[in-house]
Amino acid sequence: MKIIDLETNEATRVYLSNVKAPIQAKPFAFEAKESLRKKTIGKKVKVEIEFSKNIPIKKENGTTEDRNFVFASIFEGGKNIAVQLLEEGYVSLQLPRGDDEFTKYIDELKQADE
């Protein structure tokens, strides 16, 4: 999701912490993206940047490069968007592995995933 800071007009791409949406061309990928879009587009949301992670991405030529991914919890009207998407069944919970960083809202996400 791309967010725009209203004070600086700077755009940043963020990913919802500890949830994973279906990738394009997979079942419900369009519906998941559309649900997120309807909840956020044109609205003022609260964004809590929680952590970032360098993840190796394989390029078409076979090489890899590290890309920095920024993870956040996003709230609209006081509601955690990731919790809503989990309850709707559009995303799956990604539990931390080993010493992975994770959202401070992990318990809410786990409850929504039940």
Map out the domains of the chain as residue ranges. Answer: 2-113
Burial degree of 65 (CB within 10 A; 0-12, 13-18, 19+):
exposed
Q: What is the pTM of this model?
A: 0.84
pLDDT of residue 110: 95
27 band by pLDDT with thresholds 50, 70 and 90? confident
pLDDT of 1 reads: 84
CB 57 within 8 A of CB 67: yes
Predicted confidence band at 108 (pLDDT cuts at 50, 70, 90)? very high
Q: Is the pLDDT of residue 102 over 90?
A: yes
How far is it, in rounded angstroms, from Cα 23 to Cα 32?
10
Report the topology of domain 2-113: OB fold (Dihydrolipoamide Acetyltransferase, E2P) (2.40.50)
Q: What is the mean pLDDT of residues 37-52?
A: 92
Residue 6's pLDDT is 82
